[in-house]
Structure 1
Amino acid sequence: MKTILFPTDFSDNSMHAAQYAGMLARRFDAKLIIVNVFSNVISLGTDLNMINETTLLEEQLHKNSMHNLEIFSGKVFLSTELPEVQIEHQLVYGFVTEGILEMANAMNVDMIVMGTKGVSNVFDKWMGSNAESVIKAAKCPVWVVPTNAQLTVPQLFIYAADLEEDEVSATKTLLDFSVPLGATCKVIHIQNYFDKDLKQKSAETMADLSKEFDGNNITFKDLKRNEIVEGIETYTRTHKPDVLALAVYDKNIFSNLFNSSITKHFVEESKIPILIFKKEKL
């Protein structure tokens, strides 16, 4: 884990999430790159005076954005106590989603950490289409930090596996995050199968995973519940994880997952941070 990208809108919750990102950067010994995406002003005419006014406005907006970014980065530097060489800031031109993704790809970051405000009048700005698009399109894992999430090092990850595609690689990715933090992992599969063959296959897959990762600080549990979403929610309420992990492997399937009650509860409403990463196809 070498580089963490943190997009900011300079809000209070963004500062809270930045402190969480700083905590991760310290534990992973990773560089923290704070980025603000600055949108250019579009001129509505070809008149020379209007073009000049647009240019002046763009220059002022750029100056203001850089000023705010420097202030924000300074606060993050002081609050996280990261070494100066371990934190930097970048101002990017363009649309928010594209700017974040382009920066992530250009710098080949290992993770994007994003703050959310939950459901509110300003929800669309960060956890609406922009953040949803980032999570869908990012090549690297995305760590979503809700408002008021605890700023403590995660000690328990719960990974809700669907046993689709390559769960071995997904579990290895989970351990890439949990092991450096000294955290325990619980992999659960909530199934509502009525078919005996499917139930048997599910049990065998979980048993195989348990054997594959024997010796690691990780357990596997196959649970029968009538309703999958409610089952995951109940399990997380009972076991109180510090992070809920979800793996996705296809845009269409991810879209279904993203609009489900799982994501609505844990991303929009929960105080539990969520780690979302891509899963390889078999």
Structure 2
Amino acid sequence: MKTILFPTDFSENSLHAAQYAGMLARKFDAKLVILHVFTHIISLSSQSQLMAQNVILDDQLEKNAEKNLCDFSDKLIQICNLPKVQVEQKLAVGIVTDIIVRTAEEVKADMIVIGTKGVTNAIDKLLGSNAESVVKSAKRPVWVVPYTACLNVPLTFLYASDLEENETNATQTLLDFATPLGAECKVIHINEYFDKEVNEASKATIKNLKSEFSGKNITFKELNRKEVVEGIEAYVSTHKPDVLALAIYDKSFFSNLFLGSITTHFVEKANTPLLVFKKEKI
């Protein structure tokens, strides 16, 4: 892990998530890129005087954004005790989600860390929708940090797997995050349908994965439940992992629908950090 991208809106919630990103930057010895996206004033007037005023306001907005970004970065550096050379600032104008995804590719981010909050009002819904949009759009792994998430180094990762497509690579991606942190990985698969053939196929896949990752700090478990999300929720409630990990298929309707349910249950309600990465199709 060499580069972490952290988008901020300078809110209190964002500072909390930034501390989480700073903690990860220290543990991975990674560069932390702090990004702020602002929007230009859009005027429908054709009057030259109003247009000139908007140019002045735009210039002031950019100057304010630059100062706020500098102040935010300095504060985070002090709180997290990070060397200044480990932190980079980026300011951009445009649509928030688009800029975050594009910047992640430009800086070759190994992950995007983004904060979110329980959707209790209009502002929170906007923050939540940005986080979810980034998760769905980004090619890079996204680590979603709820406002009340613990800032300790995560020691337990729970990966809820569907045991489909390229599960070997997905499991290795999980280990790439967990191993440098000295964290334990638990992989669970929820069998929603009590079908003998499906169960046998799942058992065979788990057996292969156990053999593939023998000697690693990872365990595999199969569970039978009536509903997948409720099954994961029950397991999280009992075992209390520090991070819930999911691998989703790019542009998959089912994955996006499933992700929405997971976000509602765990990020907004249980305040569990969520690590989402794309799974390759075989």
TM (norm. structure 1) is 0.97
What residue in structure 2 maps to residue 255 of structure 1? 256
Unaligned runs of 5+ in 1: none
Structure 1 runs (4+) deviating above 6 angstroms are none
Amino acid at match of 2:244: L
Match of 2:127 in 1: 126
User: Which residue is 2:217 aligned to?
Assistant: 217
- The within-5 A match list for 1:240-251 is 240-251=240-251
Determine helix, strand or coil for the equivalent of 2:148.
Answer: coil
Q: Deviations over 1:134-170 (max 9, x none)?
A: 1111111000000121111110000000112111010
Does the 8 A contact of 1:144 with 1:275 survive in 2?
yes
Q: Which residue of 1 aligns with 2:172?
A: 172
User: Where do 5+ consecutive residues of structure 2 fail to align?
Assistant: none
CA shift digits 1:59-111 (9 cap, x unpaired): 11111111111111111010011111101211111111111112111111111
* RMSD between aligned residues: 1.0
Asked whether 1:56 is paired with 2:56, we answer: yes
Equivalent position of 1:192 in the other structure: 192
- In structure 2, C-alpha distance between the alignment counterparts of 1:194 and 1:155, rounded to whole Å: 33
Range with greater deviation from structure 2 (182-191 or 41-50):
41-50
CA separation in 1, counterparts of 2:160 and 2:242? 14
2:90 aligned partner: 90
Contact 2:131 2:144 in 1 (8 A): no
Q: State the SS of the aligned residue for 2:113.
A: strand
Contact 2:185–2:219 (Cα < 8 Å) also in 1: yes
Secondary structure of the residue aligned to 1:170 is helix
- How far, CA to CA, are the matches of 2:101 and 2:45 in structure 1? 30
**Partner of 1:34: helix, strand, or coil?**
strand
AA in 2 matched with 1:86: Q
1:30-52 Cα offsets, whole Å, 9 max, x none, are 00011110101112122221211
Contact 2:115 2:131 in 1 (8 A): no
| 3-state SS, counterpart of residue 222 of structure 1 | strand
- 3-state SS of the aligned residue for 1:268? helix
Aligned to 2:182: 182
Q: Which residue of 2 aligns with 1:69?
A: 69
8 Å CA contact retained: 1:34, 1:90: yes
Q: Which letter maps to 1:258? A: L
Deviation at 1:131, TM superposition (A): 2.0
2:280 is matched with 280
Residue in 2 that maps onto 1:149: 149
User: Is residue 161–residue 187 contact of structure 2 (8 Å, CA) maintained in 1?
Assistant: yes
Structure 1 match to 2:271: 271
Task: Note if contact 2:194-2:224 (Cα within 8 Å) is conserved in structure 1.
Answer: no
What amino acid is the match of 2:92? V
Q: Partner amino acid for 2:97?
A: T
TM-superposed deviation, 1:13: 1.1
Per the alignment, in what secondary structure is the counterpart of residue 204 of structure 2? helix
Preserved contact between residue 136 and residue 254 of structure 1 (Cα < 8 Å):
no
Within a 5 Å distance, the mapping from 1:152-163 to structure 2 comes to: 152-163=152-163
SS at match of 1:188: strand
Cα contact 2:112–2:142 (8 A) shared by 1: yes
- Three-state SS of the structure 1 residue aligned to 2:193 is coil
Distance 1:124 1:104 in 2: 23
| Corresponding residue number in structure 2 for 1:27 | 27
- Contact 1:146–1:270 (CA<8 Å) still a contact in 2? no
Q: How many residues align?
A: 280
Q: Which amino acid aligns with 2:211?
A: K
Check conservation: 1:144, 1:273, Cα contact below 8 A.
Answer: yes
Question: How many percent identity over aligned positions?
Answer: 57
SS at the partner of 2:168?
A: helix
Q: Give the aligned residue type for 1:105.
A: E
**What SS does structure 1 have at the residue aligned with 2:237?**
helix
What secondary structure, in the 3-state scheme, does the structure 2 residue paired with 1:216 have?
A: coil
Contact 2:8 2:35 in 1 (8 A): yes
SS of residue matched to 1:89: strand
2:35 partner SS: strand
